[in-house]
Amino acid sequence: MGRLGAVAVLAAMLMMNEGQAMEIQQFKLDNGLNVVVVPDHRVPVVTHSVWYNVGAMDEVPGKTGLAHMTEHLMFKGTPRHPAGEMDKIVQRKGGVQNAFTSYDFTAYFQKVPVQELPVMMDLESDRMAHLTLTDPVFQPERKVVAEERKLTTDSNPADRFMEQVMRRHYAHHTYGHPIIGWRQDIAGYTVNDALDWYHHHYAPNNATLIMVGDITADQARPLAEKYYGAVKPADVPARKSPVEPVRKEALSYIAVDAQVKVPLWEVLFRAPSRFHGVADAKPAKGEATALWALAEIVGGSDSARLYQRLVVKDGLADDASAGYDAIRVGETTWDVSVQPKDGVTADKIGPVVWQVLQDVVDHGVTQAELDKAKTTLLADEIYGRDDVFNTMYRLGVWVTAGGDVKHFDDWQGELRTLTTADVQAVAKKYLKSEASTLAVLVGKPAQLGTLQPTKDN
């Protein structure tokens, strides 16, 4: 039996039993720093990371991109460790490091041999409290970020387009801001903007230290207290998730861009995350897991309904899939993405997609489809635990979205008891036209068919 078959068998066994909860150890320092440890003793390596409960969603109009800008600046040094020294130390210790910014968090990590963990804690706790910024340091980095935006977003027609789609889909919520920031906002940053952001959000009582690898909480506690315990807490502003009001009609953004080589057709539905419902509603227990399974059944693979209909049966597309991001601070989206086949106009895609979705709404899914989805999702979980970075990342996303690590594996129980009726219920509730945003991008007007480009305001 191959590895995939073995994992599928194990996943099926987990479905029949109580599941396999990950061993997660946790404690908190007096200054408010939350510490999470996942022991994994297979190799003498540890992934050390600090996750701040701040991201692009916390920005205000006119200052978009500050979370990402501050991520860049965190590598500019402290009085003890000047700019560039941290990178050299991590490399000399046989490690790698990086950072990333999202809507809900900003995170920094190093993966090193376990004996180098104290050095990583020393470096990371130092820049948590003692980042040094001056205008001569700030301005060149601001230009680097402006150039990054130019290279990664402004020069990419699909990225430019999706910025406009999200601005419309989240007209009131800050999820409608690009993480990298609007071009005019980047041009207007000052060093004081960055310092204010740093001093208000970078504090132990607004962070979680996550370590995954050859370490236990008992071993980690004295190190965390030594290196992070002296960092003073800050008066962190209360986090707010802006409300996107209920909509009564569908939205769309349709564009033609001569730079586009591969057309794009997507529809985004407003959906609850595990922690926040649509239009500030309270999320219902189990809905996120049901929506996750629904995405797998409808568009999770080439054997799923969308692919089989649009690609295999009708020959309208080269690819078709569905996706759902359950772990967010605010509401989220349940999406369908289609790549029309060359020569197929975009207006031919929508009616077929809606037929597929309406069939689920009207008739539900089969038990065989649901069983396969359950096995696939659990198999992915088993595979994922082989990668300490993946474990660290999933835990970081969970805690910064508002999750308690005690409930990190609750979805397994929900998945095990999920019924076809549950899946049909969320399809009926959330796959509605008035809660959708259609996004179509083509390279030539003729590729739209009967669709008309959106007139920008």
Residues designated catalytic: 71
Collapsed DSSP state (helix, strand, coil) of residue 108: strand
> 291 and 366 in contact (C-beta within 8 Å)?
no
Tokens representing 368 are 């065989």
> 80 and 202 in contact (C-beta within 8 Å)?
no
Buried b (16+ CB within 10 A) or exposed e, 397-421: bbbbbbbebeebebbbebbbebebe
Pairwise CA distance, residues 84 & 76, whole Å: 7
Angle of CA points 285, 290, 295, to nearest 5°: 145
E-strand ranges in 311-360 read 317-324, 332-340
Pairwise CA distance, residues 21 & 15, whole Å: 13
In the beta sheet, which residues pair with residue 48? 110, 211
**DSSP-derived pairing of the beta strands 45-52 and 106-113:** antiparallel
